[in-house]
Amino acid sequence: RKAQAPAGGRASLDFLQADAASHPFAAGDFDLLFSRFGVMFFDDPVAAFTNLRTALQPGGRLAFSCWQAMKQNDWVRIPLQAALQHLPPPEPLPPNAPGPFAFADPARVESILGAAGFSRVALAPLTLTLRISESPNLGEAVRELARIGPVARLLADQPQAVLDRVFPAMEIALQPYFVDQALDMPAAVWLVTAANP
């Protein structure tokens, strides 16, 4: 429903919530598939991209954005490091598990898309400044950031006593990025393109 609101009642838009790996798309129905930070969460990315490719016309294009490695994304790395000063580290995810950084390795992305039948796979790096929050104070911005990404999972269900130690540590770590009531942080993204032969 949220996605439908900006459509403004345009009749040419259809919204579908379905499993990308198994939905019976009409063959060759689309000339372009795109995603913003969604495809890294596929349970079986080869199956999902193989199925999505069936919906593309011959010569149709795929374009998506995904995060580069966490170490290149200060907006995630810095608050997480601050929180880990007061919490034990989480259990490590299995290699290549679905998640925000599952497509950080370009070779893995190329392998997945190649196995799904795509050609002309290309990854272009993009570094940018990500506006995390516009808040009247840093404390509010930190609490907003604490609701997204890996730090949100780490802080979920923590008692208030723990949060009372974690949030000040995050504020100290993020202070250099809070200017003019905005929290802006470095981010690194892959812009991925491919074609349906």
**Hey, where are the domains in the chain?**
29-195
Average pLDDT in the 114-119 region? 99
Helix/strand/coil for 125:
strand
Res 123 pLDDT > 80? yes
Secondary element (H or E) of residue 196 = none
Q: For the purposes of burial, counting CB atoms within 10 Å of the CB of 125, is it exposed (0-12), middle (13-18) or buried (19 or more)?
A: exposed
CATH superfamily ID and name for 29-195: Vaccinia Virus protein VP39 (3.40.50.150)
Res 7 pLDDT > 70? no
Average pLDDT in the 167-196 region? 98
Res 5 pLDDT > 70? no
DSSP string, 45-104: HHHHHHHHHHTEEEEEEEEEEEE--GGG-HHHHHHHHHHTTSSPPPPPPPTT-SSTTTT-
The structure tokens 């802080």 sit at: 155
Mean pLDDT of all residues belonging to the chain: 94
| Percent of the residues in the chain that have a pLDDT greater than 70, as a whole number | 94
Average pLDDT in the 140-165 region? 95
At residue 6, the pLDDT reads 59
Average pLDDT in the 122-132 region? 98
What tokens were used for 75?
């907006």
pLDDT tens-digit series, residues 38-80: 999 999 999 999 999 999 999 999 999 999 999 999 999 999 9
